[in-house]
Amino acid sequence: MQKRVARFWGWLTMAAVGLAALLWATAIGVRAQQGGMAAAPKEQPYVVEYYYKAKWGHAEEFLALFKKNHYPVLKKEIELGRMLKVSMTAPRYHATEDGRWDYRVTIVFKNAAIANDNFDSAPLIKQLYPDQETYKKEEQRRFEVLEAHWDLPIKDVDLDAR
């Protein structure tokens, strides 16, 4: 019986210490935020890679349509400050069919919030392409010649960190 009572008091003491530590940490955090001591997280660029796998024989057609109808929109978003950089790469050699891709577009957004803010590019598209009928037809064709497309947000890995 005495062991049970001792365990109960030990448990109660641990709970009280834990609660006190939690309250202390919360109070410190609130004080730091109110006093301007909390540093705002540094805005980090947010990188997404977009992979495009064209149907056999259509990679060049896809590239021409991408450069004509999509790349100018991306360049406008760079001008607006939403994106920092847009680049495209193609593999030098071929891969197996299941791992094949034709183009990788890498977009460096200003930050993660901008990359995920549901930006409406319709006004930019209307400004850049007054002939909306042709634009829509060519964009439809750009996706018709694709066999696959996937998006992959990436992060840097610090190899020197422990």
* Three-state SS at 44: coil
Structural element, H or E, at residue 109 = strand 103-109
Average pLDDT over residues 116-145: 97
**Sign of the alpha-carbon torsion through 138, 141, 142, 143:** positive
Amino acid at 157: V
Give the integer Cα–Cα distance in Å for 99 and 93. 12
Contact 69, 145 (CB under 8 A): no
pLDDT tens by residue, 58-82: 999 999 999 999 999 999 999 999 9
Residue 150 pairs in a beta bridge with 51
Residue 90: closest CA among 68, 65, 59, 118: 59
| pTM of the predicted model as reported, rounded to 2 decimal places | 0.72
Range with lowest mean pLDDT among 7-21, 72-86, 110-124: 7-21
pLDDT of 100 above 50: yes
Give the integer Cα–Cα distance in Å for 149 and 8. 60
**Tokens 């439809």 map to which residue?**
140
CA atoms within 13 A on the CB side of 158: 3
Contact 132, 126 (CB under 8 A): yes
